[in-house]
């Protein structure tokens, strides 16, 4: 009996912890261009642009994060533009001058055809000191960046965030969709629900087994 009561209480504590953990609200990521800000990979002396191919712009991207260096000066005005193969703007973000160098966040407006984006360009609008952009060093190729139109050995890093702050409960539909991507397509976006159901079954079975095996022992 004692064991069953304690088991029940312990399970409730864990369930409570899970609910609390999932209720925590925070900015959530919407994706990235799969490049990490390991080094300053692009350098723009004065006004100019750095462009590179992207697979897409996630539809739910509301903020873009870049790592910028300006040698102590305020960050100049910037425009980030995503273009489709037919040069239509699929998404755009603007940052007014004056931000501190480091990780910079820029509000982004993704259009309906955002996922069709195949190229991204970062524009420094006005002549200013040198701006360096965080990314990775890669060999020059059709996939690497172009600084002021010239192919350069690097890729800039872009991370996208969703709008505002969300709990994991809010994010569940998105998580379900992402969970089914990049895997064998047996269950699609139902896969997360299936895993959760299976896990619940495991918990019920384990607690029942323990209640049966330990219940008798602790009362005896």
Partner 1 sequence: MRRLAPAGLAAAAWPRSRPDLRAARFLRALLRRVPRAGRACFLIAFVNAAIWGLVVPPFQVPDEIAHFGYAQYLAETGSPPPQVVAPPYSDEEQQTLQSLEFFNVIGRPELRGIFDRAEDRALRSAFARHPSPLGPGGTTSVTDQPPLYYALEAIPYWLSPSSNILARLVFMRLLSALLAACTVLAVFMFLRELFPHTPWSWPVGALVVAFQPMFGFLSAGVQSDNLLFLASALTLWGLLRAYRRGFSDRAAVAIGAATAVGLLAKLNFLALVPGIALALALLTWRERSRGRLPALRSLGCALLAAGIPYGVYALLNIYVWHRGGPTSGGIGAATSSALPSGEVITLNESLDYVWQLYLPPLWFMHHRYFATYPGWEIWLNGSIGLFGWLDYRFPLWVYEYCQYIFYALSALAIAALVRLRRRLLGMLPVFVCFGVMALGMLGSIGYTGIRFRLTSGTQFEQARYLFPMLVFYGAFAVLAARGVGRRWAPVLGGVLVVAAMALGLFAETLTISRYYG
Residues near partner 1 (CB under 8 A): 2-3, 6-7, 10-11, 14, 17-18, 21-22, 28-32, 34-36, 55-56, 58-59, 115-116, 159, 168, 171, 175, 177-179, 181-184, 186, 191-192, 194-195, 198-199, 201-203, 205-207, 209-210, 212-214, 216-218
Instruction: Report the chain's C-alpha Rg in angstroms.
Output: 24
Whole-angstrom Cα distance, residue 85 to residue 27?
A: 30
Least Å from the CB of residue 121 to partner 1:
19
Q: How far is the CB of 51 from partner 1 (least distance, A)?
A: 19
Q: Which residues contact 220 (CB under 8 A, 6 or more apart)?
A: none
CB of 170 to partner 1, least distance (A): 12
Considering the complex, what minimum distance in angstroms separates the CB of residue 105 from partner 1? Answer: 14
Residue 133 near residue 42 (C-beta atoms within 8 A): yes
Q: Closer to partner 1 at the Cβ: 53 or 69?
A: 53
Pick the closer one to partner 1 by CB: 107 or 216: 216
Q: Which is nearer to partner 1, 97 or 116 (CB)?
A: 116
Least distance in Å: CB of 157 to partner 1?
A: 9
Q: How many CA atoms lie within 13 A of 78 on its CB side?
A: 30
Cα distance between residue 64 and residue 60, in whole Å: 11
Nearest to partner 1 of 142, 149 (CB atom): 142
DSSP per position, 181-216: TTS-TTSGGGHHHHHHHHHHHHHHHHHHHHHHHHHH
Q: Are 76 and 118 in contact (CB under 8 A)?
A: no
**Residue 36 vs 62, nearer CB to partner 1:** 36
């Amino acid at each position: 009996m004692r064991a069953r009561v304690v088991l029940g209480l312990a399970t409730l504590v864990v369930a409570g912890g899970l609910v609390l953990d999932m209720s925590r609200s925070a900015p959530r990521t919407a994706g990235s261009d799969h490049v990490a800000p390991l080094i300053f990979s692009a350098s723009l002396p004065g006004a100019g642009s750095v462009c590179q191919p992207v697979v897409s712009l996630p539809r739910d991207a509301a903020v873009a994060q870049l790592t910028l260096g300006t040698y102590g000066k305020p960050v100049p005005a910037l425009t980030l533009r995503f273009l489709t193969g037919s040069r239509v703007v699929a998404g755009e973000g603007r940052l007014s001058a004056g931000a501190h160098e480091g990780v910079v966040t820029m509000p982004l407006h993704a259009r309906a055809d955002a996922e069709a984006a195949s190229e991204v360009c970062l524009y420094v609008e006005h002549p200013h000191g040198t701006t360096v952009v965080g990314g990775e060093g890669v060999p020059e190729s059709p996939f690497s960046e172009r600084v002021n139109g010239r192919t350069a050995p690097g890729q800039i890093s872009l991370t996208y965030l969703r709008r505002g702050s969300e709990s994991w409960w809010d994010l569940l539909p998105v998580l379900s969709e992402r969970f089914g991507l990049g895997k064998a397509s047996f269950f699609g976006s139902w896969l997360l629900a299936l895993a959760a159901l299976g896990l619940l079954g495991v918990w019920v079975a384990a607690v029942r087994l323990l209640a049966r095996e330990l219940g008798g022992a602790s009362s005896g």
